[in-house]
Structure 1
Amino acid sequence: MKLRLLAGVSALVAAAGLSACSPSGSGDGGAGDGGRTTIDVWLMRDSVSAAFQKQFEKGFEAAHPDIDVRVQIQEWEGIGEKVTAALAGNDAPDVIETGNTQVAQFARSGGLLDLSDKVGDLGGEDWLKGLAEPGAYEGKQYGIPYYAANRVVIYRKDLFAKAGVDASSIRTRDQWIAATKKLNKGDRQGIYLPGQNWYTLSGFIWDEGGDLATESGGTWRGALDTPEALRAMAFYEKLQALGKGPKDSDEAQPPQAEVMAKGQVAQLISTPGGAHVVTRNNPGLKGKLGFFPVPGKTPGTPGAVFTGGSDLVIPTVSRHHDAAYTFVKELTGDAWQKKLAVAMSYVPNKTTLAKAVAKDPGASAMAVGAAVGHATPNTPGWAAVEAKNPVKDYMTAVLTGSDPERAAARASDAITSAMKSGT
């Protein structure tokens, strides 16, 4: 699943900036002009800058002169339907970037190449779980982790100093609550947390050992009514009360970074890119924003977060499986992952590569959380849940006074029903 506010995305990838390559080859050999194999690659809008794309294509084709790469930039809006149609036809591209939580729905159709035998070759033992796990379906690996991004706490250094709060000392939830209480004085909001930020709630649920939905005997059911999830919602309610965030909308309504830019918000939970939006709306806050990982329950473990980002998949109908795999191996390999992380302020796809972003405050805070990141339930039916999103309605119900257990039971039933309809 793509997180839109990613740090360091400095340029849109325009069609005019794409390399001009020879036309795709024909026949089983897949060779284009001059005996080179041309592969078509779909990458998503804003996933990389034009500069990085050009750098990678030049480096890749120099290392693999027998392969010609033709990149086509795709829009996120409607991409699910477009990929589904491509996989069902005979003219699918050779490599597709897809949101990590979309892999299951595409794999279910049989349209993706099983790459399970390549996991060892790709160093899969070190992959971020939040990318690798949703890239698998029914025990087989179809999606190869590409890059990750997740939420961190963005805070006002000046407001923390004024309140006598040391951000580096906030290592646990209890410390976070205590600090936020000190920050929540007068017109100042200790934290701006809208009532329907369900990805943040998901992290608290995972911290408690629960999940949004669970599977047993091949059947999925909603799990917001478990003791673990109820404890997580109780913590969310406690934290949300230390600010003036609306109880009936999410972080986009109104845009939370714009709220912070007005000057009276000490913290918000966002991808680091949210800081760029804050300073764009209020240049006076440049240099005054910092980042730290979402705190966990104990000092030694950061808070669990939803891992957004992308995987790379190879369609079964591709005529160039070997060349496509070579492309995937290069782009997800250590050398290019380090360059991508620095260029785009992403989290690399492996826990062992976290040091690549050590000098980037936002990305390094993300990397800490990404090490214990999760994805939404790995079932094709989950897409139907997000379309209706009973989790948001549940959160608003609790925050406005409804009985938590009854509201959770209703929401769990709604999740179960949605997953069945989606499957």
Structure 2
Amino acid sequence: MKHRPLALLGTMLLTTGLAGCSSSGGGNAAGPTVLDVWLMRDSVSEAFQKEFEAGFEKDHPDIDLKIQIQEWEGIGEKVTAALASNDAPDVIEVGNTQVAQYAQSGGLTDFSGKVGELGGDFWLDGLAEPGAWEGKQYGIPYYAANRVVIYRTDLFEKAGVDATKIKTREQWLAATEKLDKDGVQGIYLPGQNWFTLAGFVWDEGGDLAVDEGGTWKGALDTPEALRAMDFYKRLQALGKGPKDSDESRPLQADVVAKGQVAQVIATPGGAGVIAQKNPELKGKLGFFPIPGKTADTPGAVFTGGSDLVVPAAAKNQDEAYTFIKELAGDAWQKKLALAMSYVPNKTNLATAVASDPGAATMAVGAANGHATPNTPQWAAVEAKNPIKDYMTAVLIGRDPAAEAAKASQSITTTLNSGS
């Protein structure tokens, strides 16, 4: 799965590319209201889309649903332009951590009064929290995905390691040490996998940045974050992952498919890619949640995924809410989760994916899901990404405290730049 807020957070204003936005206005005597919806590539399968459209229009014959699939490339600019226009679509799917930057402009509809009706008490925090801005709920949780541990069942068995008994980080470390021998990498962990580091930081009670009375401050130099980096360093050393690159250079799936790698941290869909690249591994890949500090709580994870928003300028506000209530509702969430191996938007729906080992494991971790700092300026931090440079510096032996202070200052400056 693409990391929505990771992959594309540029927001330069685009003045073209709005073809297909709603131009029908409200309903009229000539027929039902045309509802224009933008969903993202790979958000739904063609089969699910057809099933949902048919079911929705049967239940709401006064609405003619028109779903347009958008590409992630350039979507930030396109959404920004749509929100600034008088011809916006009625509903837009956006990356969960993109909501704040769109809400800041005043271009989104506030759904704070609808949270209870939509089942907000059960929403995943990693979708709901970034969907809010300054105390108001603009983004409605749609679906989630997060990282798990994908492991080679044959290598675990050969080493005498039982994955079901790995519940804590220390147990995980001990098992990985046992696996890391005889030509096997205990784990493949690139040095700049900062989303995994973020989970360790949250486990320690820290964060990447904190809001101190309206002023944001980088927090990698706190004791909590430094402990997290120390654990990351210990884990990363039990494999041959590069210290100066992330999951995409080289692609993790390629490394695992070609070599003797016992574990990798990725979304469950990565297992399918690995098996496709090396068919001999089909049936030899299992999953377990990233372990936490204690056995009773899974490790914290970054929650990737999407929220649904309605432009304030959308002409069909009532119909847009009807669409969101349906797609984000329990019945369709269960079907979507099974169809796409996603985590449903509510914690009480986790059993919907019990028959899918990867998705079920992902749902366990999602209960302890988090989002990046909820500020429109976080996009600029990711663009520079001093966290990656910091991680590499520590892994090659530089002073962690000094490097953390440097990275934190960079984050502080960017978050308060106002640009």
TM-score category (smaller protein): over 0.9
Paired residue for 1:17? none
1:5 is displaced (CA, Å) by: 7.9
User: SS where residue 336 of structure 1 aligns?
Assistant: helix
The whole-number CA distance in structure 2 between the counterparts of 1:32 and 1:396 is 60
Check whether the contact 1:23–1:38 (CA below 8 A) recurs between aligned residues: no
The gaps in structure 1 that reach 5 residues or longer are: 7-21
Which of these residues, 197, 201, 213, is aligned with residue 201 of structure 1? 197
Residue 51 of structure 1 pairs with residue 33 of structure 2: no
Which of these residues, 86, 89, 101, is aligned with residue 85 of structure 2? 89
Which of these residues, 2, 5, 11, is aligned with residue 4 of structure 1? 2
Paired residue for 1:260? 256
Which of these residues, 206, 209, 221, is aligned with residue 210 of structure 1? 206
Cα deviation, 1:282-331, whole Å, max 9, x if unaligned, reads 00000000000000000000000000000000000011000000000000
Instruction: Go from structure 1 to structure 2 and tell me whether the alpha carbon gap of 1:164 and 1:65 turns closer, same or farther (over 3 Å shift).
Output: same
Number of equivalences = 404
Cα deviation, 1:168-207, whole Å, max 9, x if unaligned, reads 0000001000100010003110000000000000000000
Instruction: Go from structure 1 to structure 2 and tell me whether the alpha carbon gap of 1:247 and 1:422 turns closer, same or farther (over 3 Å shift).
Output: farther
User: SS where residue 370 of structure 2 aligns?
Assistant: coil
Paired residue for 1:406? 402
Q: Which amino acid aligns with 1:143?
A: G
Which of these residues, 143, 148, 155, is aligned with residue 147 of structure 1? 143
The whole-number CA distance in structure 1 between the counterparts of 2:111 and 2:3 is 30
Instruction: Go from structure 1 to structure 2 and tell me whether the alpha carbon gap of 1:160 and 1:397 turns closer, same or farther (over 3 Å shift).
Output: same
The whole-number CA distance in structure 1 between the counterparts of 2:23 and 2:378 is 38
Residue 101 of structure 1 pairs with residue 97 of structure 2: yes
Cα deviation, 1:109-136, whole Å, max 9, x if unaligned, reads 0000000000000000000000000000
User: SS where residue 369 of structure 1 aligns?
Assistant: helix
Check whether the contact 2:201–2:224 (CA below 8 A) recurs between aligned residues: yes
The whole-number CA distance in structure 2 between the counterparts of 1:33 and 1:205 is 57
Instruction: Go from structure 1 to structure 2 and tell me whether the alpha carbon gap of 1:422 and 1:280 turns closer, same or farther (over 3 Å shift).
Output: farther
1:73 is displaced (CA, Å) by: 1.1
Instruction: Go from structure 1 to structure 2 and tell me whether the alpha carbon gap of 1:332 and 1:185 turns closer, same or farther (over 3 Å shift).
Output: same
User: SS where residue 65 of structure 2 aligns?
Assistant: strand
Paired residue for 2:155? 159
Paired residue for 1:79? 75
The whole-number CA distance in structure 2 between the counterparts of 1:23 and 1:132 is 27
Residue 116 of structure 1 pairs with residue 95 of structure 2: no
Paired residue for 1:327? 323
User: SS where residue 35 of structure 1 aligns?
Assistant: coil
Check whether the contact 1:97–1:313 (CA below 8 A) recurs between aligned residues: yes
Paired residue for 2:15? none
Check whether the contact 1:95–1:315 (CA below 8 A) recurs between aligned residues: yes
User: SS where residue 56 of structure 1 aligns?
Assistant: helix
Map 1:150-299; keep pairs closer than 5 Å.
Answer: 150-299=146-295
Paired residue for 2:16? none
Check whether the contact 2:150–2:263 (CA below 8 A) recurs between aligned residues: yes
Normalised by the size of structure 2, how large is the TM-score?
0.95
Paired residue for 1:12? none
Q: Which amino acid aligns with 2:251?
A: P
User: SS where residue 321 of structure 2 aligns?
Assistant: helix
Q: Which amino acid aligns with 1:210?
A: G
Check whether the contact 1:384–1:422 (CA below 8 A) recurs between aligned residues: no
Q: Which amino acid aligns with 2:417?
A: S
Cα deviation, 1:366-407, whole Å, max 9, x if unaligned, reads 000100100000000100000000000000000001100000
